[in-house]
Amino acid sequence: MTNGQKSNVCEGCNRNVLTSLACPQCIKLDLKPSYFCSQACFRQNWPIHKLKHAIKPVDTDKIVTNREVINTNIGVDDNLLNQSINPKDPRTWIYCPHIRKFANYVGFTGDLRPYPLSPLRKVPNYIVKPDYADDIQGRPFSEIKKKKDVKIDIVTPEQINALRKCCLIGREALDLAATMIKPGVTTDSIDEAIHNFIISKGGYPSPLNYWNFPKSCCTSVNEVICHGIPDYRPLEEGDIVNVDITVYYEGVHGDLNETFPVGKIDESSINLLRTAYKCLDEAIKICKPGTLYRDIGRVINRITDKNNMSVVRTYCGHGIGTLFHCNPNVPHYKNNKAIGVMKAGHVFTIEPMINLGRCEDITWPDNWTAVTIDGKRSAQFEHTLLITDTGVEVLTKRLLSSPKLAFLNF
């Protein structure tokens, strides 16, 4: 390593340091120098950083296929075009367009880094799909059409019956995921199991191709707030991981998620999971006809304030049913401007994202993965709810057979 004397930003942990170490290979290849705060940080980030030595920065909006990426921007021999991506060999990661999006990216706020993705999973033709499933841009045309409509739909008895069946599939899929979570398991393998399970039940995994989201569920690890993309990274002892599942079945969507410990987690993570779970639980208790949607945030914020945690403001709960996302908008923070009063027949999600540190977030270059701005951990729990004449029905409720939430017993 070559010593640098001026102040720079560490590429690994994004901290400003007065004395940095410059990567000698970057200098040798006449690339813009990359700096690290220590030898340990350099070694930890080497698998991703060394990709810079083989590629040049590209306009990722123009990326279509591996062949186009390689021929246009890397110039490797055509004989290598069929080389497969080996998740355990970072030398092959340059063949993954997802990884290419992170070339020269220095905005990581925590320790998590992107890993390669598996190929897009297929859905049989006999499965009934939402309107965005086969669109090249993943556009949900029915949602776009109703974007300016402020009305909150009242579901029909037939739709309620479909929602119950749809949400049961989602619950069973999430319970399946819960049984898989342990050190060494990849989030990609969890996504594969969820995908296959939902298909086996005759449903469609709603996230798949929604605005081009590449997987069938979201998996958000540690500092990831939401919309994490399942990849080949093995889960590690001490991680926390949120699994967010939505199912499309008989013309309706059902949405739920839970955050799980991976092996033994530290005390602050236990408190985070308990607090996030309590936020959802207490918010559900006030749901009934006549409740203002804006009051949900007040209940949640009161809990986080007592526990010195914060509520993410960028992402909210939402209406759901024939559309994946629709009215009402359900903020999880106090003093919000949410419009609407709960009425029998309203269906929506509550899904507060709770952070150990600051509430602000940033998005990775994949345009999906939202992470905490300070790199501290985030946790979330979600249910799909139906307002009834007398109160609320939790459509995605846990079953007697559901795996116990281990963190409640720690």
Which residues carry a binding-site annotation for a protein?
Answer: 227, 325
Other Cβ atoms closer than 10 A to 390:
9
Q: What are the strands, taking DSSP E only, across 31-151?
A: 35-36
Distance between CA 5 and CA 310 in Å, rounded? Answer: 38
Q: In what order do the strands lie in the sheet with 353-355?
A: 310-311, 353-355, 378-380
Distance between CA 343 and CA 162 in Å, rounded? Answer: 19
Largest CA distance in the chain: 71
183 and 237 in contact (C-beta within 8 Å)? yes
Is the Cα dihedral 86, 89, 95, 99 positive or negative?
positive
| Binding annotation | 227, 244, 255, 318, 325, 351, 382
Distance between CA 205 and CA 246 in Å, rounded? Answer: 6
Distance between CA 370 and CA 372 in Å, rounded? Answer: 7
For 395-399, which contacts have Cβ atoms below 8 Å and span 24 or more sequence positions? 395/163, 395/164, 395/167, 395/254, 395/347, 396/167, 396/170, 396/171, 396/254, 396/255, 396/256, 397/171, 398/171, 399/171, 399/172, 399/175
Separation in Å, CA 56 to CA 49, 225, 398: 12, 30, 49
The single residue listed with the structure tokens 């005759």 is 202
117 and 102 in contact (C-beta within 8 Å)? no
Render 195-224 in DSSP notation, one character per residue. Answer: HHHHHHTT-EETTTTGGG--SSSEEEETTE
Distance between CA 299 and CA 275 in Å, rounded? Answer: 12
Q: What angle separates helix 157-180 from helix 187-200, to the nearest 10 degrees?
A: 140
| Binding annotation for Zn(2+) | 244, 255, 318, 351, 382
Strand 8-9 with 16-17, pairing: antiparallel
Angle ∠(382,383,385) on CA atoms, nearest 5: 145
